[in-house]
Amino acid sequence: MTETAIKTALLSVSDKTGLIELGQALAAHNIKLVSTGGTAKLLRDAGLTVTDISDFTGFPEMMDGRVKTLHPKVHGGLLAVRDNPDHIAAMNAHEIKAIDLVVVNLYPFRETVAKGAERPEVIENIDIGGPSMVRSAAKNHEHVTIVTDPEDYPALIAELNDNGGTTTLKTRRRLAGKAYAATAQYDAAISAWFAADLGEDLPELLTLPLKKASALRYGENPHQKAALYIPTLPNLPEWPLVNGIAQAKQLQGKALSYNNYGDADAALELISEFRDGPPTAVILKHANPCGVASADSLLEAYKAALSCDSVSAFGGIIAFNRPLDGPTAEAITEIFTEVVVAPEADDAAKAVFTKKKNLRLLITGPLPDPKRHGLNARSIAGGVLLQSRDAELLDQAALQVVTEIKPTDQQMKDALFAWTVAKHVKSNAIVYARDNATVGIGAGQMNRLESARIAAWKAEDAAKKAGWAEVHTKGSAVASDAFFPFADGLITATEAGATTVIQPGGSIRDQEVIDAANKAGIAMIFTGTRHFRH
């Protein structure tokens, strides 16, 4: 069977969007409307003739509406194979009428959780009859049309009009697949809520419901396919729904690529660490910061961040913790930039960027909370790794100064700035900082010594390009995302001019490193916390 005539339709929806228009279109084809509760009332109020589900089944709705469509006359009418003589005989014997179209969307479970409802209300918004009808209709899609999304109403109406009140098998198959995806996502949201209710951050069985937001041109490379998906989980402590790069408003520029999304997200995560601080700029390339600075204005912060590594900044991502202004936008356009991320932008900044048609400007609104809970996912061959977000913020009361020399207030300030940035640098990570700005960053090396050398070399190169009389690592603080396993990395940092070191500590050779720091006459701080980033 390729085309099926619609004679009877069952409608039961919580989202009433487009319902009246759909009901009118069905009535125009002399399709009998069967409905429940508020759906029936809205259709009747629009002047349409509707049969109540209780009249259709001969059985009253009961238990506060919990039992209304769970009935053989409903599911028999949905599941009967119309060209099977035994099924037809059973329908005749039990007075079961065929239902050819089901229009259902489910109780607003996610919305109920998101508004902070109490547990009894959440439980009552777990739909039972709706998913059952959806699954029955979708299983029998050879004969029954199932619609779960109001966005599909216009296409359904057009097909009925074009085909004399019938639907094609191709349409029914597409809608059936979408229907099963909808019930799967619905059940995943419920299971996630139960896991949170039971205090299970990483439950034994976990389903991650995602909705495709957009197709991307390609992945990391042109031969790879890619798309952006967003979570449809309820707003739970373990999966807080925050506005991030996926929800940012793009004001101009071509569509974001897979790599753009990844880099912009890394920039947003880092700039969010400074959301309550002074004006701050982050310049990032390939998921690694190449310059971070705080200052009295965004323009000063941007210039200081750029001076850390102006070469790597070319074609990078820039993020700010304050609304972007015109003068800063003018400075940005002096070099090629892929994406700019900011909570907002004034009219002057927007006007400047309109001259750079390929530059993307993303407006995020309020920056996300760096302390928020959540999970990070990463696929591996044969599985998926899940871990809680690295939301650990430094407990300054737990810091331990382990050297004879104690850091000054300014040295401690520089150390904390470097530590904050190092958390967002690929391991092995070394960050030099001075006066609220990074002055050298070494990222992603296979040993910590090489990261320290690269960061120092970058600082020397920056000084030459800027014509500074002194390399800015002189008098800086240096942060290491993990402990120094040997003293060589620390010695390299001191040779570069660092006067303060901040690192987790915890190596079996800690004393060797402490002794080297004391010999060099520098201060060293242990945090007790590691920030690997792979």
Coil/strand/helix, residue 402: coil
Name the DSSP class of 302. Answer: H
Write the CA distances from 135 to 9, 78, 479, 512, integer angstroms.
16, 10, 56, 66
Which of 97, 139, 303, 413 is an active site residue?
139
Using a 10 angstrom Cβ sphere, with 0-12 exposed, 13-18 middle and 19 or more buried, the burial of residue 83 is: exposed
Q: Which listed residue (7, 97, 286, 303) is catalytic?
A: 286
Between CA 245 and CA 229 the distance in angstroms is: 12
Angstrom CA distances, 306 to 164, 226, 254, 314, 332, stand at 65, 31, 24, 10, 10
How, if at all, do strands 32-35 and 51-52 pair? Answer: parallel
Question: Is 141 in the active site?
Answer: no
Q: Which residue's entry shows tokens 């009389």?
A: 469
Examine the residue annotation and report whether 29 is marked as an active-site residue of this protein: no
Task: Reduce the DSSP state of residue 406 to 3 states and report it.
Answer: coil
Q: 421, 479 in Cβ contact below 8 A?
A: yes
Helices (H), 246-291: 258-272
Cβ(524)–Cβ(402) under 8 Å? yes
Q: E-strand spans in 196-279?
A: 210-216, 226-231, 249-252
- DSSP state letter for 219: S
User: What is the C-alpha separation between 252 and 356, in angstroms, rounded?
Assistant: 9
Catalytic (active-site) positions:
139, 286
